[in-house]
Structure 1
Amino acid sequence: MIRTHQSITDTDELKPDLTPLLDIIFIVMVFLLLTASVKIQSLDVELPQTETQALQETESDPITVNITAESPYWALQGNEIEDWDAFKTELLKEVKANPDKPVVIGADKAGTVENMLKLLAFLQQNDIKATQLLMEEDKS
């Protein structure tokens, strides 16, 4: 009888304890769920916090891009450009000629959001950093 009891105890000791393994599996699952990459379709735009900070960051001669409300919608360095394709070509030439100059965007408040998004998408595609978006302070 003692022998039988002894053999039952030996077989219980030979079974592996799976509790730590399950803990590790759940920790890995949680880690993978939290670190899974989710593609967020958005544009990163950093706007100046205050007017004084924006003035300090502006260099004396930036590359200026203007979006107007009426045709022609695009202007580069104060020169109006008739169509989007010509504007893209000129902007790329200007940035390649002056890679150290910041790009400053000024948009007319009556202009379309579509043109602003088109410009920001183009800047992001070509890895052009826009340092500022010019805005007026709300005086109300």
Structure 2
Amino acid sequence: MINSPNAGAGGWRALTPDITPLLDIIFIVLVFLLLTANMPLQSLEVDLPKSDSEALSVVQEEKTMTISLLAGSPAWALQGEQYDDWAAFKPVLEQNLEALKKTELMLASDATVTVDNMMKLLAFLQEHNIQATQILMEEE
């Protein structure tokens, strides 16, 4: 029989592996998974046209209001009147809510506008139940 040098009282504990670092890693991974697993995804529903012919229509100026999203500063415009930021533009939209609901709303966006600006505007329109919105696009 092979005896270890610490084979006296309690010497058998020196031969067992220390699993404390392993348990630390397991708990860190477990906490990471619990914190990242329940992240809610935010989405915004947008109804897109089913065909190209349905999407294209002639703009009638007398029945429409146009909101423009511009690249750079100023970033917003309503009927050609420009605003520097969302904090200045949102009260103007709130003042014109009745007109926005009664007319056909057109969104004109520069190609380099960030998605964040478009999402702010679409979320505002959805929050105030403005459904009839068209997005202007250039013909190819």
TM-score under structure 2 normalisation? 0.59
Q: Alpha-carbon deviation of 1:96?
A: 1.6
Matches of 1:87 and 1:106, distance apart in 2 = 15
Q: Alpha-carbon deviation of 1:92?
A: 2.1
Q: Alpha-carbon deviation of 1:98?
A: 5.2
Matches of 2:72 and 2:128, distance apart in 1 = 26
Matches of 2:45 and 2:97, distance apart in 1 = 20
**Structure 1 residue aligned with 2:81:** 79
Specify the SS of the correspondent of 1:70.
Answer: coil
Q: In structure 2, list runs of 5 or more residues that go unmatched.
A: 1-39
Residue identity opposite 2:46 in structure 1: V
Q: Alpha-carbon deviation of 1:134?
A: 1.1
Is 1:44 the counterpart of 2:45 in the alignment? yes
- Contact 1:74/1:81, CA 8 A, preserved across alignment: yes
Matches within 5 A, 1:106-121: 106-121=108-123
Matches of 1:95 and 1:59, distance apart in 2 = 20
User: CA 1:98–1:65 in 2, change beyond 3 Å: closer, same or farther?
Assistant: closer
Specify the SS of the correspondent of 2:91.
Answer: helix
Matches of 1:79 and 1:130, distance apart in 2 = 22
TM-score under structure 1 normalisation? 0.59
- Tell me the alpha carbon deviations over residues 35-73 of structure 1, each in whole angstroms, 9 at most, x when there is no partner: xxxx974222223443565325x4433111011111110
Aligned length: 99
CA RMSD for the aligned pairs? 2.4
Residue identity opposite 2:123 in structure 1: A
Q: In structure 1, list runs of 5 or more residues that go unmatched.
A: 1-38
